[in-house]
Amino acid sequence: MQKLTLPLALLGWGIVWGLLRLVQPPIPGSVMTLYMAIAGVSILVYLMADESRFRAVQAPILALLTEDRLAVPRLIVLACVPLLVGWATFEKVRPTLEPPFEGRTIHPEPPSTFKFQGRDFDVLKTQNPLREHEAEAHFADNLEAGKRVYFENCMFCHGDHLTGKGHFAEAFNPLPTNFRDSGTLSQLEESYVFWRVATGGRGLPRGATPWNSAMPAWQDFLTEEEIWQVILYIYEASGSEPRTWGEHGGGGGH
């Protein structure tokens, strides 16, 4: 059993990683790194707490480094380590090809009304109902619901940190919106964001071209309440405050 100490320790670390990957909504990357570091330190402390366990872990490592019969595996490991380090370094520093610059309207003028699930939605007058006085008692619940909607639907493009660097982000031109940029959410009214989320890329006006937005029309998949909830979440999580129409005299073209 002592011979299996090192493989079992590595297997335990892998099981922790696998279980954390199954958590929904997905754990942000930075938090995942922290959890795995804690798991690694915990396993190391457990192994070092008993001398026999620690010697069992040391034995295969020392054998690989010193015994003549393991010369070939030792050379393979010694060759792979710098290659892996070099590959990781290259991935960090390699330049990324920037797409050609296309002049476009960043925040196109919205329509005064649009069709939302078969009825007229007034972009100029509608306020987020989840910010009304009677909804304040349920603010935390709506925020949690919005977080769930975001990580189930939006995170893959806009990223777990809301920076526009999701798993699929590099497949799009332009890149998904960075909600932490002061030039995005803080410049917009919540009803404007509702229009953009509800209608997606196909709802953009002709004057907004070239946009090439791949965002789906989320009104086909989410309820009105879920859209308001996710808007509540992205404002809160990005540290932004929604603008009101009166702050800039109305209109959505900034």
65: left (phi over 0), alpha (psi -120 to 50) or beta: alpha
**CATH label of the domain that carries residue 206:** 1.10.760.10
- Both 151 and 204 in one domain: the answer is yes
Query: Whose structure tokens read 């910010």?
Result: 131
Q: Residue 253 falls within a domain, yes or no?
A: no
CB 156 within 8 A of CB 167: yes
Tell me which of 237 and 175 has the higher pLDDT: 237
- Both 168 and 224 in one domain: the answer is yes
167 phi, psi to nearest 5 deg: -60, -35
- Determine the average pLDDT of the residues in 167-184: 84
- Both 118 and 77 in one domain: the answer is no
Which 3 state secondary structure label does DSSP give 160?
coil
Q: Residue 168 falls within a domain, yes or no?
A: yes
Query: How many domains does the chain contain in total?
Result: 2
- Both 131 and 223 in one domain: the answer is yes
Q: Residue 104 falls within a domain, yes or no?
A: no
- Both 70 and 119 in one domain: the answer is no
- Peptide bond before residue 82 is cis, with ω within 30 degrees of 0: no
Let me know if 201 is exposed, middle or buried by CB neighbors in 10 A (0-12, 13-18, 19+). middle
pLDDT in tens, 115-163: 999 999 999 889 899 988 666 778 889 999 999 999 999 999 999 999 9
pLDDT of residue 98 exceeding 70:
no
- Both 53 and 160 in one domain: the answer is no
Q: Residue 169 falls within a domain, yes or no?
A: yes
Containing structural domain, residue 55: 2-93
pLDDT of residue 225 exceeding 90:
yes
